[in-house]
Chains A and B, each alone.
Chain A
Amino acid sequence: MQKFLLKGFVAGIILLVISYAALWILVNFFPDMAEQYYNPIFDMEGDKTYLYFLHPFILSFALAWFWRRFKSLFHGPFWWRGIEMGLVYGLIATLPSMWITFSSLAVSFPLVMTWLLYGVFQGVIVGIVYAKISP
C-alpha cells in the first residue's frame, strides 16, 4: 500500500508540473486558444482553484490502480508499454468524455482537441513512469 501511494504521488507530482507547464505554453505560444478560457463557463479563479491542482493526483492514483490491475497486458520496452497504456486511457476515458463535452458545452472543436491530446499525453506520461518504476 505504501508503494502504491508513493508511486501515485510521484506520478502526480510529475503530472502537476506538466499541467502547469502546459498552461504556460498555451498562454505564451497559443494566445488565441488561451483567450477561449476567458469565458464564463470556466471558473479558474475562485474557491475551487485548488481542485484543479489536485487533478493530477486523482489521475495518477486512478491510473496506478489501472496499471497494477492490467500491466500484464502491456508488452515490450517500458516506453512502449507506457505509450500503449496512455492510448488505452485516451480511448476508454478521454475520448468519450471529450465527445460529450463538445456536444454539450459551448467550447470550440480545437479547444476540445487540445484537451483530448493533453489527456492522452498525461496517460502516456503516467504509463511510462509506472512502466519504469513498477514493471
Chain B
Amino acid sequence: MEWFDTWGLPLIVFLPLVGALVLGLIPKEKEDAIKGTALLFSLVTFGLSLVAIGLFDFGADTYNTYQFEVNTRWIPAIDSNFHVGVDGISLPLLVLSCFVVLLSIIYSWDHWEEPRNPRAFLMLTLILLTGMNGTFVALDLVLFFIFFEVVLVPMYFMIGIWGDKAPRKIPGFSRIVETRLYAAIKFFLFTLFGSAFMLLGFLALYFRSGEFGARTFDIVELTDLGASGAFTGTFAFLVFFGLFLGFAVKVPMWPLHTWLPDAHTAAPTVGSVILAAILLKLGTYGFVRISLPILPNEAVRWAPVIAILAAIGIIYGSLACLAQTDMKRLIAFSSVGHMGFVMLGISTLTDVGINASIIGMVAHGLITGLLFFIAGSMAHRYHTREMARLGGQMKIMPIMGGILGFTAMASLGLPGLAGFWGEFMSLVSSYNPLDGLSLTVFRSAMVAGAIGTVLTAAYMLYMLQQVNFGEPGDEWVGHHFHDVDRYEMTAWVPLIIFTVVVGFYPNLIFGVTNDVVTSLVEMAFQGGSITAGLGG
C-alpha cells in the first residue's frame, strides 16, 4: 500500500472533483447514471478515507507530525506549496465529511427539491466534498484559504437555487424577497468578510516568519516557530484577531452567528445537513489547527474572551430555540449552542477541553446532520415546518417519530449517546482550565454551560412534545403518510449506529485524538515560552 502515502490524500481531495466533472459530461436526462456515478465517486472517496484509518499509525502521534504527507511546489513566487497531511485531529473530521456526503447522496436519491436537476445538485455536492476534505488536510495557509473559500460557491448555489422559496420581508428593505436569495447572499457575505481578514492574518504570519529564516506559509514550520515563541506583541494580537474573525464567523460564534439560522433554515435538506455537519467544523478546526499552535501566547490572552462568547452563545442559542415556532429553525439555532460547547472546550486550552471539542464536533456532525435529515423528510411530507400544526407523529409515522425522539435525546446530551461526551467534558475542562487562566471567568462559563444543558433539554423536549406526542391535528386526519422509506433508512441507520457506538465507546474518537492533543497542549502551552506570556 505504498502508493497511498503519496496518492491517498490527493485522491481523497480531488476524486470528488473529478466526479463532478464526469457528471458534467453525462446527459441531463440519464438520471440513474448520474446518481450512480455520484454515488460511486463518493463511495470510493469514503473507502479511501477508511483506508487512511487502516494505514494510519496510531502509535506515532506527536503534534506537528503528519502522515500521508505530500509536499510539492505549487506557487514558487509566493513560497506556497501543495502540502497536505493528516494527524489524529484531522483524521476523524476527514472521515466524517466523506461519510456525511456519502449518506447525503444516498438520501437525495429519491428526495429532490424543486427545481430538481439532480446533475447540478450532485455536482455541487461533490465540489463541496473536495473543498471540505481539502481544508481538513491542507498544511499550507494559502492552500487552506483556497479550500476554505471553494466551499462557499457550491453552498451559495445550493441555498440559492434549491432553497426555501417562501417570500419574506427583510427588516430595513422595502422589497419582499424569497428567503433563499436572502439567505444565500447573507451566508456568502458573512463568510467572505471574515475570510478577508483571515487572509490578512495569514499574510502577516508569512512575512513575520521571514525574520526567522525563509518566509513560509507552511503550517508545520509556522507551528514550530509559534512554539518557540516567535510571534508576540501587538503584531500577534492583531493576527489572532484577523484569524478569529475568519473562523468565528464560520463556527459561528455569537455575535457573528446571524447568518446561520437563515442559511440553515433556507437550505435544501442535504445542504442543511452538510452545512451543519461539516462546514461549521471548518471554523473550529481552524482554531485548533492554526490559531492555537501558531499563536499560543495570543490564544492564552484571548481564551477568556472566547470562553465568554462561547458561554453567551450557549445560553443565547438555547433561549432562541425556545422561542422558535419553525422546527428547522429550532434545529438551526441549536447549532449555535452546541458549537458554543465546542468553542468553550477549545478555549480552556487543556487536553481535556480540546479532546472534548473534537468529539463534540464529530457528535454534532452525526446528530445535527440526522436532525436536519429528519426535519427535511418531515417537511417533505407535511409541507409545513410549523410545530404548532404538527403533532402526534408517533401515531402517524411511528418510525420517523421514534428516530426523531432518539436523535433529540442524543442532541440534548443524554449519557450513553455521542452528544454527551462533548458537552460533559467541555464543562469538566472549564472547571479546570490551563494554569494561569482566570478561574472566575471559566467557572462562570461552566455554570452558564450547565444551565445551557438544562435549556437544551428543555427545548428538545418541547420540540418532541409539539411534534411527536399528543393527537394528530385535524388537518392530517385522513391523510396517508408514508413512513420512513428505504433511502432514508439507508442514510440514517449508519448515523444512528455511530451515535450509539461513539456514545458507549468514546475511545473510538479519543483513541485517535488523545495523544496528538496532549502533545499539542504540551508543545504550545506547557513549554518554556508560554510562562512568559502568562504574566502579561
Q: Answer whether A and B are interacting partners.
A: no
